[in-house]
Amino acid sequence: MTSLSITLLLCVSFTSALPFHGRIFGGKTAQPGQFPFLVSIQVESDSENVHGHYCGASIINDQWVLTATHCVFGWTPDDIYLLAGTNLLDTGGTAYNVSKIIKHQDFNTTTIWNDIALIKIEGKFEFTDVVKTIGIGEVSGGQSSTIVGWGSTKDGDPNELQYTEVTTLTPDDCARLAEAAPYNLERGPGQVCALGSVDVGPCHGDSGGPLIFNNTVVGMVSYALDPACAKGYPDIYTRAAYYAEWIDDGRIFGGEPAKPGQFPFVVSLNNKVDGPWCGASVIDKKWAVTAAHCLQFFTADFFYILAGTTLLDAGGTNYTVVSIVTHPDFDDSILTNDLALLQIQDEFVLDGTTQPIGIGDVSGNESCTALGWGSTANANGSNELQFVNLTALTDEDCTKLAQGGKFVFERGPGQVCTLGGEGEAVCYGDSGGPLVCGGELVGVVSLLSGSLARMTRCKQYLSKIMVDWLKSCPRWSGELKDILLSEYNNVEPIPDVTLPQLIDESSKFPIEFPVQSVRCCQLQSKISTKTLEKNINSVYPVIHEYALYLCSIFLAHQAKFGLRRDFYKNMSLVDFIDRLLSKRAVMFMGSVDHYLLLNGKSGSGNWENVGTPNETLPLVLDNCLSYDEIKLSALLSVSSHTYFINDGDRNNCGTFEENRGKVEENGVIVGLIGPRLEKPRVMEYREIIKTKGQNTSLYGYGSCEVPSVQSEFLKFYDDVNATYDQLLDQMKSNNDRYLNLGRDRFFDKLMYQKRIALSIDTLLLEANERAKNENTKAYVHVVGLGLGVWKISLEQDKFFMDTFAERLEYLSGVLTHISDIRFAYIRHKMAGRYENGDRVQGITLHMENKNPQDKLTGENEGKLLVVSYPWDGNALPGNEFWGGSLNGSGDPAAAASSQVAELHNWHINRKVSARNLRVATYKGVVTFQEYQQLHKND
């Protein structure tokens, strides 16, 4: 059961040792339940053919296991999972996903000191006779102890758990026996030696597993003094008791001076008159984040940022602050929403002393670090950057400590409490500085009260996803404002549509309906005319105000620089929205662009030529949307009330459900979609996927005299229009943003989450508005919005759910009429830090696979069901539905179970019109005319 070879450790080449799985040398086979606290760390990655059992770990409570840092070095939570409750690697047990990895901050790859780590699972362990915890204990030299694991044996890699006895050694005995070993490293107080006989000891794959004495874990397998296993030399274990306080996150350490480059994201915000003012954290090349209260009564020209030094009076670089973005709901009386962004004139020079930090979150009872130049015990302020380890508290613990008047201040979901001992806390001058947990920025210092402090929770308002992006636009001015107001007061409302009119228009539709049960002509025998006409006239297109802004940018660009300037020059925004609704293909799918047009023409391929000199009939701009227009049309949704034919099961095929007690008969249905990444170099692939072949000047990337339409899209998303080589340079400073897909392809997580946020916000704002108008609460059913065939990475499910959680937090106080959100058939079963049954801003989350129109029962009975369905933006509602493929995806399933095929169809229902457009804003969903009025006098 030897650990990774020292040679590998010294080279920091942990991953190269991964193929060693295995078992204890000279061990016995364990009985089921004999060591119920032991779990196997399993690697999911298939890179370099790495998978399966890798290390051992010990369960220490219902969410955490204890292991060695070198076991998790280089892995993310998504790369591994834990297998508990079985002695057999190939049979039985329960797999637990990992939500967090905490490596010791002082792990040394040369001495292998501080080789200890904690792993947190999603959810909790289910304790049984074969799954239990183990306590932390101490051991002295000369004690018979037990090691246990699946490490390599003489016979290869075992399937059954093994154990054997070893003897712990005193430091002197260890030094004497290790003298002739190949790798006789210096040992410290945080390590313990143990010795088995020749051919008895730990081997590859046992790393991180426990050394057991007196039914407690006293050590974790760290390394061997010989790269071969069990050769009669001592083996080295991390001494568990030495790190007991680190393990339980209970001890608060006093402030210590930071070393140069130790915290390269921390900068000093300086007032040009009064000097050092507050702390701040670099989160991007041009942005830093601080507390809003630091900036009260001042404008940007009062400040500069000192970065790249731990000393206020020496070194570093000054950067001019040109813009301040304060949270719009900052309340200076109680310091809620106490967050602000600082934009500098140029860009931070990123090197070993200045680097951005990622945004994370913390749930409580975790050890974190606060940093700043604030007051110390001996001085009013420190010239040298200080750091202190604090405990992030749960809301419950914070409330308890605040009772009795000792620590009194209001708290909300946007704050996190921390606690230090006497003389161990953040202090004046630390305001705006970072709270760092697990290597991520989780808060900024906001309010102090003795040893208790309140931090503004960054994830609540700010992340690498948004960087307050949505608050920085739209800026309706100049030609864009002219485009917005081009038909001001000239847009007449659309008269109500009668049932006979709708039936008549439907009968003229040139493509045959594959099922009749969803049509009004059939439903009028089951539903009253009043209800059907209510549904018909409840229809409207809805677009996020920022997506509307992007449409205006596109129109302006095409009128100036497009290949078809004549086509777009006199087109109003209303005309363009109608074009996005009316010029879609009837059916459009697959990476080969298989299409069916309204005139009955069908075919595959050549769609990329639409709008170019190479276009040919029938795929011409007069008849079809270009790929850039399809990208915009995907941001345009249609919403209405509907009658539900059945429960919406993928295989419903339009069958009318006679047992109406199984189905929520009436509700709201909203068609919308996220990024489509199935086909390279088109649609959202161009922003989200970075490739060597795509990101070149040939495709509009990089600088050029005439701005490309691609540069306008990237500018809208507040991103740099970079070539592939330039992107590689960016990745050196912000690699967390990009997921390597292989073959010179990278997935831009930030860009994906910005794009999907527009769809998520539109759905939530629309659901809230519909429920508000009905004077009720909405129960929202959410589908993946592009997590099916359009998906390019399995990790998109997690990115989608994390973004959804952030948008819920961001929309705090806005979604007053949503009570529940159900995520159905989405692989990732957490939304950020939230699990099934958790509440976010008063909204209960459900991670359960149910059909969209299942009957709402119990406490949910009577609520307004709001169902989202995937509407690709490149076809009429239902897409494959029109080709008769009724169970091909969620699109036809929705068209076969609701009224969208008729009601959301521009060619059938005249309510699907730009003249009936609604705009989703953070103050509510308003008509297009009302939105024009709002911005007329900007």
Span 216-265, pLDDT tens digits: 999 999 987 766 555 678 889 999 988 886 775 322 234 578 889 999 99
CATH number of the domain bearing residue 121:
2.40.10.120
In a domain, 827, yes or no: no
Of 719, 734, 750, which closes a domain? Answer: 750
Give mean pLDDT, residues 570-580.
Answer: 96
The predicted-structure confidence for 655-688, as pLDDT tens digits, reads as follows 999 999 999 999 999 999 999 998 899 999 999 9
Specify the 3-state DSSP secondary structure of 806. Answer: helix
Question: Which residues, in sequence order, are CB contacts of 300 under 8 Å at separation 6+?
Answer: 321, 322, 323, 324, 342, 343
Residue 180, classified by CB atoms within 10 Å of its CB into exposed (0-12), middle (13-18) or buried (19+), is exposed
Angstrom distance (rounded) from CA 707 to CA 703: 8
Are 375 and 439 contained in the same domain? Answer: yes
Average pLDDT over residues 366-387: 68
Q: Which of 223, 247, 271 lies at the terminal end of a domain, its last residue? A: 247
Average pLDDT over residues 376-397: 68
Helix (H) or strand (E) holding 864: strand 864-870
- Identify the pLDDT of residue 466: 47
Residue 442, domain CATH: 2.40.10.10
* pLDDT one-digit tens code per residue, 111-165: 889 999 999 899 899 999 999 999 899 999 999 999 998 865 545 567 889 898 9
b/e map 189-222, b = 16+ CB within 10 Å: ebbbbbbbeeebbbbbbbbbbbbbbeebbbbbbb
Instruction: State the Cα–Cα distance between residues 533 and 535, nearest whole angstrom.
Output: 5
Is 798 strand, coil or helix?
helix
pLDDT at 457: 65
Please report whether residue 652 resides in a domain: no
- Does residue 122 sit in the same domain as residue 262? no
Measured CA to CA in angstroms, residue 318 lies from 21, 303, 344, 345, 498 at distances of: 51, 10, 10, 11, 67
Whether the link from the prior residue into 474 is cis, omega within 30° of 0, is: yes
The answer as to whether 931 is a domain residue is no
Higher confidence at residue 420 or residue 409?
420
168 within domain boundaries: yes
- Note the pLDDT of residue 81: 93
- Neighbour count for residue 323 (Cβ, 10 Å): 14
Assign 818 a pLDDT band (cuts: 50, 70, 90).
Answer: very high
Structure tokens at 776: 């009720």
Whether 172 and 305 map to the same domain: the answer is no
Query: Where is average pLDDT lowest: 206-210, 366-370, 742-746?
Result: 366-370
**Residues 263 and 164 reside in one and the same domain:** no
Quote the pLDDT of residue 3. 29
Tell whether 558 is covered by a domain: no
Is residue 279 domain-shared with residue 237, that is, in the same domain? no
430 & 282 share domain: yes
At 364, list the tokens.
Answer: 């409580």
Say yes or no: 429 and 313 in one domain.
yes
Judge if 18 and 89 occupy the same domain.
Answer: yes
Do 577 and 636 touch, CB atoms closer than 8 A? Answer: yes
11 in the same domain as 36:
yes
The answer, yes or no, to whether residue 648 has pLDDT greater than 90, is yes
Print the domain residue range for 737: 685-750
Residues 287 and 389 in one domain: yes
784: in domain? no
Average pLDDT of span 562-576: 94
Q: pLDDT (tens digit, 9 = 90+) per residue, 526-543? A: 999 999 999 999 999 999
210, part of any domain: yes
Condensed to tens digits (0 to 9), the pLDDT of residues 171-202 reads 999 988 888 777 677 788 899 999 876 555 56
The count of structural domains within the chain is 3
Judge if 233 and 274 occupy the same domain.
no
Give me the mean pLDDT over the 65-93 stretch: 90
Task: Using alpha carbons, select from 42, 7, 44, 48 the residue that is nearest to residue 21.
Answer: 42
- Per-residue confidence (pLDDT) for residue 102, from 0 to 100: 81
Q: Around Cβ 526, how many Cβ atoms within 10 Å?
A: 14
Mean pLDDT of 345-374: 83
Q: What pairs with residue 103 in β-bridges?
A: 117
Rounded CA-CA distance 733/284 in Å is 9
Decide: helix, strand or coil at residue 29: strand
Tell me: cis bond preceding 618? Omega within 30 of 0 counts: yes
Question: Residue 200: inside a domain, yes or no?
Answer: yes
Same domain, 127 and 263: no
pLDDT computed for residue 515 by the predictor: 96
Report d(CA 917, CA 927) in Å as an integer. 6
Domain end position, chosen among 705, 734, 750: 750
For the chain, what is the radius of gyration of the CA atoms?
31
Q: Report pLDDT digits (tens) over 803-814.
A: 999 899 888 778
Residue closest to 336 by CA, chosen among 248, 435, 446: 446
pLDDT of res. 881: 96
